[in-house]
Amino acid sequence: MEEMLLQIAMAVIGSLGFAIFFNTRGKKLALIAVGSALSTLVYLLVMYRTQDRVVSTLAGALVSAAIAEIMARMMKTPVIILLVPIVIPLVPGGDLYYSMRYFIMGNAEEFSTSFQFMLKEAAAIAGGMILVSFIVQLILKSKRYFKEIRHDEI
């Protein structure tokens, strides 16, 4: 339990550091902290249940994107301002490091395995963000469409 809290705290610090570096200020920092904590918590819980980092990364990315979409609309700010810092803890930096290390050492088999796994995690992040964005756009366009139909009937 302590390890999980430490990982969540480090994820929040990393996200906030990234957000501050790109001049994010005010209430957005609090939203980024909450979003980062929740997405990391989901990642860790799914990881505990499945022992699959790709599935866990996908779950964390779905939560990150959903939080960013909802909060961006509430704050009337672009989604990307919140999404990028929130998703930072999910980025497979360690896997990229080891992939490059194996590449430099000339260990082609380990490089290939590690690089493919890193690509799967990156695809899970991208897929989660795209799926949530698609669903949100579908909902918004459907609402607009039905509003126009009701307006035309009147």
So what's the pLDDT on residue 150? 72
Indicate the number of domains in the chain.
Answer: 1
Q: Is the pLDDT of residue 153 over 70?
A: no
Encode pLDDT of 20-50 as tens digits: 998 998 899 999 999 999 999 999 999 999 9
Q: Is the pLDDT of residue 148 over 70?
A: yes
From CA 120, how far away is CA 89, in angstroms rounded? 16
Domain boundaries, position 112: 2-153
